[in-house]
Amino acid sequence: MAAPTATESVEHPTRPGSTGADGPQPVLAFRAVTKRFGGATALDGVDFELLPGEIHGLVGENGAGKSTLMKILSGVHTPDEGDIVLRGEPVQFSSPAESKARGIGMIYQELSSMPALSVAENVFLGSQPTTRSGLVDWKSMRREAAAHLGSLGIDVDVTSPLGRLSLGGQQLVEIARIVFSGASIIVLDEPTSALSGPEASRLFAAMQGLKERGASLVFISHFLEDVLAVSDRVTVLKNSRKVATLANTGLTKHHLIQLMIGRDADTLAESYEGGVTLPAPSTASPILETEVLSKTGSFNDVSFGVRPGEILGIFGNLGAGMTEVARVLFGRQRPTSGTMRLGGRPIAPKLTREAKRLGIAYLSENRRATIFSRHEIFKNITLAHLDQIVGGVIRQSREVAIAEELVHRTGVRPPWPTLVAGKLSGGNQQKVALAKWLTVQPKVLILNEPTRGMDVGAKREVLDLIKALKAEGVAIILISTEPETVLAESDRILVMAKGRIAKEFVNERVSKDLLMSYA
């Protein structure tokens, strides 16, 4: 028998957790599910099975298809091909309400709870018990909420506002709400990304308790050690296809990484297979430095420096704390402790305009928040520094002339400054967002996911522009969850995991799987 290829399942009927003829029948099954968005295939003939009383880990790189698969289960999307079988019955959900009515509960990284309401109100959100006269039965609600939470090992004051609990505590309350709404299939999407070690342990204990009560859970996470700590089986997706479903017996993080990234030339560029060699460090003094910078609940003791004409790559998984560090540097958030220095002088920007005045620019990971899609390209480009480039009187002709130069410099297509930005492709919108910060060249440019969602050609153009800025002496902090991007462009690389710097790579050979092993 030939060895399985990169896209074949390597599930074995004799392994624990199998679904052979003598094993348990799945409570949920996806059969050859395919989903396309325009010309892009998000899922390609994916099979997935969830057993009764099972915690099933679901892993894969960004864009592998995990979220699309679960959005089909939750009723957000409908499949183009394939079948969904729920408790032996073919189903297709046309809305989240239909999915919820069939006992499926979704818990996302961004919690849907209401921090200003009490814990009890959140447990019964939308379904508060009432008296005969139709009023909320507060006494019963508090008593039942305490009993529900207690059965999951959660001991909190149900009368206190939810927002007073830690993020981990809020997450447990949300799980309780989903469970006691009647869900028997529970999907947790990146639930540990912002949790401390003890909070994650409490969550895992609650998940085990739900499993023992017969619930089936799907656990999606970039933190492979968390997946291995709690899952019975693990399914790996890669390039919109299922690679394998494996019993979690002797399974290692290294093995999962190998399955996730593969070794086929179609998927990995040749330069990434062997890794890249980072250059010797610059001898210049850092232009921007942080020292034991911390923000409670986001990151701790982050210390680094970036030099003029250097690209400092920061790699990590979703929720590692990289975005929060960037927001603190740009004045969008305040640190809890630690120091920042620019050119050797202490800084503490409280507002973004103060950071801009200091010469710090930030390209957000959220393109929608960066681009005003209903306005012309030239307005998007000049808005950030309008007072500096047009003086006291705003002249549109002056704005257009400045924007026209930057449009050509950044390769925006079509190169028409008066075109509405919303009519551009995603890659060209990103070029406009970058051009905005070049109207007055910054000392430090922080780029958060600058190439995410772009096609290969647009990605290369943006990265070439970043290298050109480096050559002009700009210090660049390149933040990305895409290891290829960080490997291709960085002079030094920091890896962040759970709010801390886990590893620094400098003047050495680094591969994609090595980066991922520290994340």
- Average of per-residue pLDDT across 385-413: 79
Q: Is the pLDDT of residue 2 over 60?
A: no
Structure tokens that stand for 128 in this block: 């508060």
pLDDT exceeds 80 at position 7: no
For residues 506 and 307, the answer to whether their CB atoms sit within 8 Å is no
Grade residue 430 by pLDDT with cuts at 50, 70 and 90.
Answer: confident
Please state whether the peptide bond connecting residue 483 to the residue before it is cis, i.e. omega within 30 degrees of 0: no
**The pLDDT of residue 193:** 66
- The full DSSP string for 386-445 is HHHHHTTS--HHHHHHHHHHHHHHHT-SS--TTSBGGGS-HHHHHHHHHHHTTSS--SEE
Residue 16 token pair: 């624990």
Between 58 and 367, name the one with better pLDDT. Answer: 58
Residues 210 and 186 sit within 8 Å (Cβ to Cβ): yes
Phi, psi of 241 (to 5 degrees): -125, 155
| Per-residue confidence (pLDDT) for residue 196, from 0 to 100 | 65
Q: Could you report how far apart the first and last alpha carbons of the chain are, in Å?
A: 36
Task: Please tell me which residue, 100 or 5, carries the higher pLDDT value.
Answer: 100
Angle (deg, nearest 10), helices 197-212 and 167-179: 10
Q: H or E element: which one contains 258?
A: helix 253-261
CATH 3.40.1440.10 applies to domain 40-263: no
CB count within 10 Å of CB 151 equals 13
Distances (CA, A) of 466 to 237, 311, 444, 505: 31, 9, 12, 20
pLDDT given for residue 390 in this prediction: 58
Q: Is the model's pLDDT at 414 over the cut of 80?
A: yes
For 141, phi and psi rounded to 5 degrees? Answer: -60, -45
Residues 6+ apart with CB under 8 A from 8: 243, 244
Quick: pLDDT tens for 130-162: 888 888 889 999 998 998 888 777 788 999 998
At residue 336, the pLDDT reads 96
Q: How confident is the model at residue 6 (pLDDT cuts 50, 70, 90)?
A: very low
Picking from 294, 347, 314, 304, the residue whose alpha carbon sits closest to that of residue 518 is: 314
Cβ 166 vs Cβ 203: under 8 Å: no
Residue 203 has pLDDT above 90, yes or no: no
pLDDT at 174: 84
Element (H, E) at 361: strand 360-363
**99 sits in which H/E element:** helix 96-101
CB 313 within 8 A of CB 493: yes
165: which DSSP letter?
S
Statement: 272-518 belongs to CATH 3.40.50.300? yes
**Alpha-carbon distance 108 to 177, whole Å?**
13
> What's the CA gap between 299 and 292, in Å, rounded?
10
Q: Name every residue whose Cβ is closer than 8 Å to that of residue 153 and which is 6 or more positions away in sequence.
A: 202, 205, 206, 209
Length of the chain: 519
For residues 202-215, give the mean pLDDT: 88
Percent of the chain with pLDDT over 90: 47
- Looking at residue 172, its pLDDT comes to 81
- Of 410, 428, 403, give the one whose Cα is nearest residue 465: 410
Select the more confidently predicted residue: 218 or 450. 218
Is the Cβ–Cβ distance between 197 and 228 less than 8 Å? no
CB atoms within 10 A of CB 160: 12
Per-residue pLDDT at 305 exceeds 90: yes
CA 342 to CA 75: how far, in whole Å? Answer: 49
Q: pLDDT higher for 223 or 384? A: 223
Task: Give the per-residue pLDDT at 227.
Answer: 93
In this prediction, residue 251 has a pLDDT band, given cuts at 50, 70 and 90, of very high
DSSP 8-state code for residue 118: B
Q: Which helix (H) or strand (E) holds 276?
A: strand 276-277
- Dist. CA 75–CA 493, nearest whole Å: 40
d(CA 387, CA 381): 13
Condensed to tens digits (0 to 9), the pLDDT of residues 436-477 reads 888 888 999 999 988 876 655 677 788 888 998 999 999 999
The pLDDT score that the predictor gives to residue 151 is 77
Q: CATH 3.40.50.300 in the chain: give the residue spans.
A: 40-263, 272-518
Identify the residue with better confidence: 365 or 326: 326
pTM for this prediction: 0.64
Residue 341: both structure tokens together? 């220095």
Taking Cα atoms as reference points, which of 157, 167, 76 lies closest to residue 123?
A: 157
479 Cβ contact partners less than 8 Å away, ≥ 6 residues apart = 313, 314, 322, 323, 326, 365, 446, 447, 448, 449
Q: In 3-state terms, what secondary structure has residue 176?
A: helix
Tokens representing 413 are 């297509």
Q: What is the pLDDT of residues 111-137, one digit of tens each?
A: 677 888 999 998 888 778 888 888 888
What does the mean pLDDT of the chain come to?
85
Between CA 267 and CA 238 the distance in angstroms is: 10
Q: Which helix (H) or strand (E) segment is 59 a member of? A: strand 55-59
CB contact at 8 A, 495 and 515? yes
Instruction: Give the Å distances, CA to CA, from 284 to 302, 310, 467, 490.
Output: 21, 10, 18, 16
Tokens of 304: 């680094």
Please give the pLDDT value at position 67: 84
pLDDT for res 270: 39
Judge whether residue 250 has pLDDT over 50. Answer: yes
By the 8 A CB rule, do 60 and 66 touch? yes
What is the DSSP code (8-state) at residue 505?
E
Encode pLDDT of 59-83 as tens digits.
987 778 898 899 999 999 999 999 9
- Segment 276-299 shows an average pLDDT of 94
- Identify the pLDDT of residue 236: 95
Identify the pLDDT of residue 274: 53
The DSSP line for 119-155 is HHHHHTTT---B-TTSSB-HHHHHHHHHHHHHHTT--
